[in-house]
Homo-oligomer: A and B are copies of this chain.
Amino acid sequence: MSTHNVLIAGAWRSSDSVGSFQAQNPATGESLADSYPTSSWADCDAALTAAQGAFESLRQMGPAPLADFLEAYAERIEARAQEITELAHLETALPLEPRLVTIELPRTTGQMRLAAEACRAGNWTRPVIDTVAGLRTQYGPIGPVCVFGPNNFPLAFGSISGGDFVAAIAAGNPVIAKAHPLHPGTTRLLAEEAQAAAESAGLPAGTVQLLYNMPFKDGEKLAQDTRLAAIAFTGSRQGGLKLKAAADAVGKPIFLELGSINPVVILPGALAEKGEALAQEFTGSCLMGTGQFCTSPGLLLLQAGAHADAFVDKTVSGFAAAPNGVLFSEAGCQGLASAVERLSSAGAEVLTGGQAQEGESFRYTNTVLRVSGAEFLKNSLALQTEAFGNATLIVVADSQEETQQVLNALEGNLTGSIYSATDGSDDAAYDVLAPALRLRVGRLLNDKMPTGVAVSPAMNHGGPFPATAQAGFSAVGIPGALLRFAMLQCYDNVRPERLPAALRDENPRELWRQIDGRWTQDSL
């Protein structure tokens, strides 16, 4: 059995590998046929050098070829959609319909085209001109970016196709993609199209590169290498924090998405108004994609009473009745089991589920845990353990005051939702509780589960630590997501003909620019 090649410096070449691995079909537990290399440092080193060279060339080319690339790549993905989604289904067990075919693939190519548009338009660079002081500033590309993709969106957050990738590229940076080892084949197919599109757009070799895996020590070394300008990582808290430590030690910008339990608060009035419907909505949100979403609601907060008990009962029966979805991997099953075990040990009661499902596929029983507000407050950190998958914890507080204490004890999260009554009976409680939640989440929702993440300039898919490491940035949403891979570049007294296009007096592209305090598309 031969091992697949890596993509370095514009060529698919044999890896200087230290090992190899195969993906598994989570639905059967069987290893898939193809073998992929674990790269040695030599591969990383070659990719870094090629990325550095590509960046030097890209800086002289302007945005058009990058935008062309993103659009050509989107078309190529669509042309090969069936093969890509079928392999993604095989490697992840995510359903072809609607998830991979109708939702994730169009999201991926749509995001790519938005990035192309942002790249071509250039408004993401936010030009600021002070005519009196002779200062002109914009964001510019930062340099080669390494993208570590997660397990849960093989296309839309994939290392060589997802939001981080397109944002880094659209901002003018080469990308070294580090595949997630649970879906190497999907990543390979995407990378083939990426490289073909890069060639057709005339991009320098090394603009897009792919390594499948590497020993952790080489990942750390790569993170610290001076040829690399920035890192994006989406994945587990444990792995992410280790990589962050390596990057921090050398002052390397690293943008992480590390997990989130996405608290949902249902206020008493809303619970009374439509508790049963909300229990169904909550159950659906928790079990969608077997709960393997960064925005899956892992903690629900209610106030004690008959309506709360009815909600819990309804949720428990919903979880128990639903089929147990397939998880991405055996390790994921074990991780979920450990998390449920930690939550139990910390005082939560398992109401349903709480065990692996027998059989060949990677499944865990749909799990609901419950804990009182008082118990939660005694052990609040352990009770915020993320159970990535089809499990959730319901916290039942005794009072609004205790609800607020629970909110005040929360770590940073991507999202937080509050459901309140339509008749205004919850408004006073909302006014007290929402400010506490606001500070702890990147996106605050009303009357809505957090699972959907629209690709919008007004989206914030980010949040305070430990959800991410920098609460001022979103990983989803164009053009905002590009700013993570950019540096601020000021031109002081620079001669007019030497200014970058966006900062010259003439503004033929009709960029939005802030000139002496006013946003305008005019020329100077």
Contacts and interface: CB of A to CB of B under 8 A. Distances in A.
Interface of A: 56, 59-60, 128-130, 132-133, 135-137, 139-140, 142-143, 244-245, 248-253, 415, 430, 434-435, 438-439, 442-448, 450, 454, 456-460, 462, 464-466, 469-474, 480, 483, 486-495, 498, 512, 514, 517-520
Contacts of A483: 472
Given A430-B498, A471-B488, 15 more contacts: A60-B435, A128-B457, A133-B458, A133-B459, A135-B458, A137-B459, A245-B249, A434-B498, A442-B487, A442-B489, A443-B490, A445-B493, A448-B493, A473-B488, A519-B519
CB-based closest 7 A-B pairs: A251-B465, A460-B490, A519-B519, A135-B458, A130-B458, A471-B487, A248-B248
Contact of A454 (B129, B133, B446, B495): B133
Contact of A442 (B60, B471, B488): B488
Contacts of A518: 512
A439 B488 CA distance: 10
B491 A444 contact: yes
B493 A446 contact: yes
Nearest to A443: B490
A517 B129 contact: no
Q: Within the oligomer, what is the number of copies of this chain? A: 2
Nearest to A436: B56
A473 B457 CA distance: 20
A459 B133 CA distance: 9
B434 A492 contact: no
B487 A464 contact: yes
Nearest to A493: B448
Contacts of A459: 130, 133, 135, 137, 490
A49 to B, nearest CB: 14
Nearest to A485: B472
Given A245-B248, A483-B472, A488-B442, A460 B253 contact: no
Contacts of A492: 415, 443-446, 448, 450
Nearest to A444: B491
A83 B388 CA distance: 61
Contact of A512 (B251, B448, B519): B519
Given A137-B460, A454-B133, A519-B512, A142 B471 contact: yes
Contacts of A244: 248, 251
A142 B412 CA distance: 12
Nearest to A55: B439
